[in-house]
Structure 1
Amino acid sequence: MAFRGTVKPYGAFNANDDANALQKAMKGLGTDEDTIMKLLTARSNVQRQQIKAAYKTLFGKDLVDHLKSELGGKFESLIVGLMTAPIAYDAELLRHAIKGAGTDEKVLIEILASRTPDQVKEIIATYKNMYDHDLEHDVTGDTGGHFRRMLVILLQASRQQGVQEGTIESDAKALFAAGEQKFGTDEEQFITILGNRSAAHLQRVFAAYMKLSGFEIEESIQRETSGSLEKILLAVVKCARSVPAYFAECLYHSMKGAGTDDETLIRIMVTRSEVDMLDIRKEFRRMFATSLHAMIKGDTAGDYRKCLLLLCGGED
């Protein structure tokens, strides 16, 4: 598979040189933010972890703590996100989403709907390691009803592999019977099928469903469900169709209208920069008649904007 991120490993990498450059950028009066962002966005996450280790060895200081003391606001959040290993970053985001007053359902939905089963298993193990807590236990303690049931299925990370030719039609019929065809909705059917089948299988089911019912599955979900359950089912459907298109849409909504949802913007730019940012940009351009680059430029400011644009990696 071709590499689809905008941030790549740096060819002439030397962790000690980079640690020295960062220390110099933070020494004395004033901070050289430009050097910090240009260097860190031109290194892969694995390389950043090596810089962190080299920094500790050379200067006896924790690099992330030092960065936090020199930077502030959204720019700081962005840089700290880049300095965190991907799975640990997901675990941390989920922890913050659950802990404290109210639950940030948007974060739970976005991460659990878009990560692969293997990634979900790693997140669960890392979460346990970091917080000595069971992620499923924390999630179920903080959510309820059908929404909780769907989260639990996604946390099982046991989606079938491949396409089950024999069950495409019956899955489509079951979804139709659970929603459009009856008075009231059998949410359990939606949860079971959307939570347990592979993306490739679901794509075929959605096509069969359209033929059978005359509706896109998204339309039926919007009509038949509401609230958190509707949001998570739609996210799962969108990710089954195209993860980059799902993230393009999330990014668009984080910047559209009054005020910017910076937490979402930071989260997606950090987590997808080495995964599929090129595809997200392509989908963004296709879906919204503007480029991701242009929208970030018009919606953010200062070092924060500069750093986001470096992660975006160019104009389409």
Structure 2
Amino acid sequence: MQNRGKLVLACSCAGQFYECVTELNALHLISGPGTDEDAILMLLAARSNDQRQQIKAAYKKAYGKDLVGALKSELGGLLESVIVALMTPPDSYDASQLHKAIKGAGTNDEVLIEILASRTGEEIKRIIKVYKTEFGGKLEKDICGDTSGHYQKLLVILLQGNREEEVDEGKIENDAEDLYAAGEGKFGTDEEKFIAILGNRSAEHLRKVFAAYKKLCGSDIEDSIRGETAGNLENLLLAVVKCARGVPEYFAEVLFKSMRRAGTDDDALMRIMVSRSEVDMLDIRASFKKMHGASLHTTIQVPHTAGEEEKQ
């Protein structure tokens, strides 16, 4: 899709240009017969979400109809999904993605892991409130209804949004030793210890624990997680570790993998581009180029085939 590349560029400069009256007139013209899809995408994606909400309200006041509805009537496919996502407030968008992940056919664990591992405590608390308002249920209850075991326990801990904020120097060595004793240092695995430490300590504290862990046993914590756990728990623990090391690097990796499947995972691409556009998209682009030797903008437009991910 040609618009993938435009979405990368536009979402990287969200909020930099804004003149509501001019844009109202432009949207009114381009959302009729002969719709200019590129113009709509570039106009909306390059604005902040707050600006888009102002445009949406002003459009309804000026023309007596809902902007999103007007655009949906002219668009279709992936572009329609992108525009709807762009016009949704961030917390509502995350809540809708979580609802879709657990209320559809089966559970989309990739979405649960991505959102809950990467969002801050305050963001998670806002998402929970919006979820209850918009979907009439409790997010924790709905997630627990679709998950189980140690994977569920870690999700519930992350849903509390109460991760510690400080570094406790007195716990660093103990945490590293406890993680070793819970995994590589024993027969079997004490998953509860991994969950308690990785689910509650601050990112800065965890980075120091990871360094102490490597000094202690000569390997990275990721190696221990891969060797001691499996399935969704393994994926969630690894996501938590990667986000503690660096959220932009985590999303750069997720984007790369989304383009190395049997056809680009447009849902993952759209979700990340939209949700991170005003948070750290420039950092994600820089990390992507550093990690993979090519720009996100270039890579996203190149067709890929199944199996390429495994070759990397």
Name whichever of 74-83 and 199-208 sits farther off: 74-83
* Residues in 1 aligned to 2:88 and 2:174: alpha-carbon distance in whole angstroms: 44
* Residues in 2 aligned to 1:128 and 1:232: alpha-carbon distance in whole angstroms: 24
Partner SS, residue 146 of structure 1: helix
Question: Residue 291 of structure 1 corresponds to which residue in structure 2?
Answer: 295
The alignment covers a number of residue pairs equal to: 294
Question: Residue 217 of structure 2 corresponds to which residue in structure 1?
Answer: 213
* Residues in 2 aligned to 1:7 and 1:115: alpha-carbon distance in whole angstroms: 21
Question: Residue 40 of structure 1 corresponds to which residue in structure 2?
Answer: 44
Which residue identity does 2:251 align to in structure 1? F
> In the TM superposition, what is the alpha-carbon distance from 1:207 to its structure 2 partner?
0.3
Partner SS, residue 258 of structure 1: coil
1:143 and 2:147 correspond: yes
CA contact 1:16–1:55 (8 Å) conserved in 2: no
Partner SS, residue 43 of structure 1: coil
Question: Residue 21 of structure 1 corresponds to which residue in structure 2?
Answer: 26
- State TM-score, norm by structure 1: 0.90
Partner SS, residue 145 of structure 2: helix
1:9 and 2:15 correspond: yes
1:121 and 2:125 correspond: yes
Question: Residue 186 of structure 1 corresponds to which residue in structure 2?
Answer: 190
CA contact 2:12–2:46 (8 Å) conserved in 1: no
Q: Deviations over 1:143-201 (max 9, x none)?
A: 11111001000001111111000000000011000000111100000000000000000
Question: Residue 234 of structure 1 corresponds to which residue in structure 2?
Answer: 238
Which residue identity does 1:261 align to in structure 2? D
Which residue identity does 2:150 align to in structure 1? H
Q: Deviations over 1:51-78 (max 9, x none)?
A: 1001111112111111111111111111
* Residues in 2 aligned to 1:67 and 1:191: alpha-carbon distance in whole angstroms: 45
Go from structure 1 to structure 2 and tell me whether the alpha carbon gap of 1:169 and 1:111 turns closer, same or farther (over 3 Å shift): same
1:268 and 2:261 correspond: no
* Residues in 1 aligned to 2:121 and 2:194: alpha-carbon distance in whole angstroms: 19
Question: Residue 5 of structure 2 corresponds to which residue in structure 1?
Answer: none
CA contact 2:102–2:146 (8 Å) conserved in 1: yes
* Residues in 2 aligned to 1:227 and 1:34: alpha-carbon distance in whole angstroms: 40
Partner SS, residue 31 of structure 1: coil
CA contact 1:210–1:217 (8 Å) conserved in 2: yes
Aligned-CA RMSD value: 1.3
- Percent sequence identity over aligned pairs: 60
> In the TM superposition, what is the alpha-carbon distance from 1:132 to its structure 2 partner?
1.5
Partner SS, residue 298 of structure 1: coil
Partner SS, residue 300 of structure 2: helix
CA contact 1:222–1:230 (8 Å) conserved in 2: yes
Q: Deviations over 1:248-286 (max 9, x none)?
A: 000000001431111101100111111111111111111
Which residue identity does 1:24 align to in structure 2? L
* Residues in 2 aligned to 1:132 and 1:15: alpha-carbon distance in whole angstroms: 34
Which residue identity does 1:249 align to in structure 2? E
1:171 and 2:175 correspond: yes
| Greater RCO (Cα-Cα under 8 Å, separation 6 or more) | 1
1:244 to 243, 248, 266: 248
* Residues in 2 aligned to 1:262 and 1:23: alpha-carbon distance in whole angstroms: 28
> In the TM superposition, what is the alpha-carbon distance from 1:112 to its structure 2 partner?
0.3
1:155 to 145, 153, 159: 159
Which residue identity does 2:13 align to in structure 1? V
Question: Residue 4 of structure 2 corresponds to which residue in structure 1?
Answer: none
- State TM-score, norm by structure 2: 0.92
Question: Residue 3 of structure 2 corresponds to which residue in structure 1?
Answer: none
CA contact 2:151–2:232 (8 Å) conserved in 1: yes
